[in-house]
Structure 1
């Protein structure tokens, strides 16, 4: 069984030969892992590490930082002003510092980028190249994250958008609709490249509860996600749809299942108990993630990382429907021994039947 077969078997709720493996990490971690594998980077490094899937870039509002210049601030093609920030561990990331629709009263003067324009063509070409190069042996996950909500608040500003959703509802709905149209076109183009899975994503969870009321999510987002998922699966009926949201979003998991979601990512264990989520929804939903990156990876020992991996395998892997992965990116400053312990534990304990 090769990696692609392993992933697709798991996502069809059957047990493959072993649990598929993935791991998200920052560019700083990649730079530390690369010398251990002959200087490989990107998808080639991940395959050398034992990942069963490769993941494309995303034609979304957050993609520009990967192609931006060396300046500390820049404005992307959407009009969002970004700033590079370095955290205490030496990790680099971007923050939005100015929003093009912050003072807008309507959308008449704003034009979104063309999702099929030249700015995004390299991303679609990359997806096609991944399918051609890796798709015979590894599952290819296409990306369309920051699908609606995150794009909206990056354009409008978080505080403004949350107020709009309560007291300026026509504006909010119009903005969400324009973004949905963009995502529909971009997602269809990504599906056309031949990816096995398309993952959507908007963060609606905080550490302990949802960022907005579930009723508000249903009012604005459920039908729009349903429309996207239906269109993408119409283009390729074999396509699996994954959805990423950090934090606790348990109240809307039944809604996501109802509209056709196949895979939930990342099931952060300090926000939702993966074993309980598997018990409640595992007959209808697969899971991708679950391994703690808030405490165990950065602060634990290699043995504690191995114990965390064994725990997730024992409670989420039986019956299939599981891709072992970190519950977000492993951050700069994480001990390299902990990362290597993760891979060793995945190999040692991930064979079916799970012991």
Structure 2
């Protein structure tokens, strides 16, 4: 059993599992200099024994120009290596929902497979109106996207040869400070979809990994109820104290460290951020992974700092000394007590008391939506 599975099962991993994802634009910009950093940190990136193509991209949408996906959505990109956005929506009217055909072409459930797919098909403003007014075409569209996704998940499962694998799903369910629709409507229209999609993964004995950008605090218990084993939320959009209150001891968190601040922080800020994340969300028995996304706007000095901090704090619960309970801010973990900084101790008390609701992230769309 590796440390990732041990962390999910809370069976005392040797290290907190850590990783970093480097966007194609960052490789294109920094090339050999970035490669040198990656090769210095195999704990974060794994073995690096193959030649590197610095101009490689993850999919066609990372190329400059336009790309049409299996559903007919038009993706536009102005820069090689950057992320594209959907500029052409193939279902512009409710009447068009009736004639929308479920694609024969497989897409292997890319990022944005359910909720975002609805927005990509209709356009954000139109899908918000649909959720607000609840016409019959809303459920009709949901049913078509769900049917397609259920077919895709069966194909994914058929390709898995080993037991107890971690199956990735990604769908940005939140906005900067709120959900785009009310929690009640999310539970009515979307929760049944995720439950059905995740059910065959769970039935096959695998683990469900769910990524979501944005503020999702209100529906995290629902995602757990749908079968999520590992949740990958944005720290900035949800807050460490809030995530500790909602998630700790209940679901394994692969914490998306604050990528919005990586371009601006000093190395010492990054170190402190990772330490606080470990102290607030971590525990010796597990339940925490750490993840950093690195874009082309992150200075190389900070890339090095991210890697060093991930390595340093991955062994926090093996190397951090236990302290006497008397007179120190601390957290008890079984028979051990760990000393914390005053700021971390304050956040922990807030999480325990449920008294603090941290402000959301500095990233994402506005907060208007259908309620």
Which category describes the TM-score, using the shorter chain as reference length?
A: 0.7 to 0.9
Question: What SS does the aligned partner of 1:24 have?
Answer: strand
- Equivalent residues of 1:145, 1:202 under 8 A apart: yes
Following the alignment from structure 2 to structure 1, what is the Cα–Cα distance between the partners of residues 105 and 187? 26
Instruction: Evaluate the alpha carbon distance shift between residue 71 and residue 112 of structure 1 in structure 2; reply closer, same or farther with a 3 A threshold.
Output: farther
- The residue number in structure 2 matching 1:23 is 20
Instruction: Evaluate the alpha carbon distance shift between residue 262 and residue 313 of structure 1 in structure 2; reply closer, same or farther with a 3 A threshold.
Output: same
1:53-83 per-position Cα deviation (integer Å, ceiling 9, x unaligned)? 9xxxxxxxxxx98236966223333211221
Shift of 1:24: 2.5
- Equivalent residues of 1:229, 1:260 under 8 A apart: yes
| Residue among 73, 79, 89 paired with 1:99 | 89
Q: TM-score, normalised by structure 2?
A: 0.74
- The residue number in structure 2 matching 1:189 is 155
Question: What SS does the aligned partner of 1:283 have?
Answer: coil
Q: Which runs of 5+ in 2 are unaligned?
A: 48-56, 321-371
Shift of 1:348: 1.9
Question: What SS does the aligned partner of 2:301 have?
Answer: helix
1:305-340 per-position Cα deviation (integer Å, ceiling 9, x unaligned)? 1111111122212131111112xx322121011111
Following the alignment from structure 2 to structure 1, what is the Cα–Cα distance between the partners of residues 59 and 129? 31
- The residue number in structure 1 matching 2:172 is 203
| Residue among 225, 232, 249 paired with 2:216 | 249
- The residue number in structure 2 matching 1:127 is none
- The answer as to 2:99 corresponding to 1:109 is yes
- The residue number in structure 2 matching 1:273 is 239
Shift of 1:84: 0.9
Question: What SS does the aligned partner of 1:173 have?
Answer: helix
Following the alignment from structure 1 to structure 2, what is the Cα–Cα distance between the partners of residues 15 and 32? 39
Instruction: Evaluate the alpha carbon distance shift between residue 335 and residue 38 of structure 1 in structure 2; reply closer, same or farther with a 3 A threshold.
Output: closer
| Residue among 67, 73, 76 paired with 1:74 | 67
- Equivalent residues of 1:257, 1:285 under 8 A apart: yes
- The residue number in structure 1 matching 2:301 is 337
Shift of 1:175: 0.8
- The residue correspondences of 1:77-156 to structure 2 (distance < 5 A) are 77-86=70-79, 92-116=82-106, 120=107, 144-156=110-122
1:144-198 per-position Cα deviation (integer Å, ceiling 9, x unaligned)? 5312110111011111111112324311111111111111111222223227212
Q: How many residues align?
A: 306
Instruction: Evaluate the alpha carbon distance shift between residue 69 and residue 21 of structure 1 in structure 2; reply closer, same or farther with a 3 A threshold.
Output: closer
Instruction: Evaluate the alpha carbon distance shift between residue 70 and residue 36 of structure 1 in structure 2; reply closer, same or farther with a 3 A threshold.
Output: closer
Following the alignment from structure 1 to structure 2, what is the Cα–Cα distance between the partners of residues 349 and 16? 13
Following the alignment from structure 1 to structure 2, what is the Cα–Cα distance between the partners of residues 287 and 154? 28
- Equivalent residues of 1:200, 1:242 under 8 A apart: yes
Instruction: Evaluate the alpha carbon distance shift between residue 291 and residue 303 of structure 1 in structure 2; reply closer, same or farther with a 3 A threshold.
Output: same
- Equivalent residues of 1:203, 1:245 under 8 A apart: yes
- The residue number in structure 2 matching 1:61 is none
Instruction: Evaluate the alpha carbon distance shift between residue 151 and residue 69 of structure 1 in structure 2; reply closer, same or farther with a 3 A threshold.
Output: closer
Computed over aligned residues only, the root mean square deviation of the Cα atoms, in angstroms, reads 2.9
1:109-155 per-position Cα deviation (integer Å, ceiling 9, x unaligned)? 32232254xxx5xx6xxxxxxxxxxxxxxxxxxx6531211011101
Shift of 1:299: 0.1
- The residue correspondences of 1:198-237 to structure 2 (distance < 5 A) are 198-234=167-203, 236-237=204-205
| Residue among 6, 10, 13 paired with 1:13 | 10
- The residue number in structure 1 matching 2:136 is 170
Q: Which moved more, 1:74-83 or 1:250-259?
A: 74-83
Following the alignment from structure 2 to structure 1, what is the Cα–Cα distance between the partners of residues 311 and 31? 20
Q: Which runs of 5+ in 1 are unaligned?
A: 54-63, 124-142
- Equivalent residues of 2:94, 2:137 under 8 A apart: no
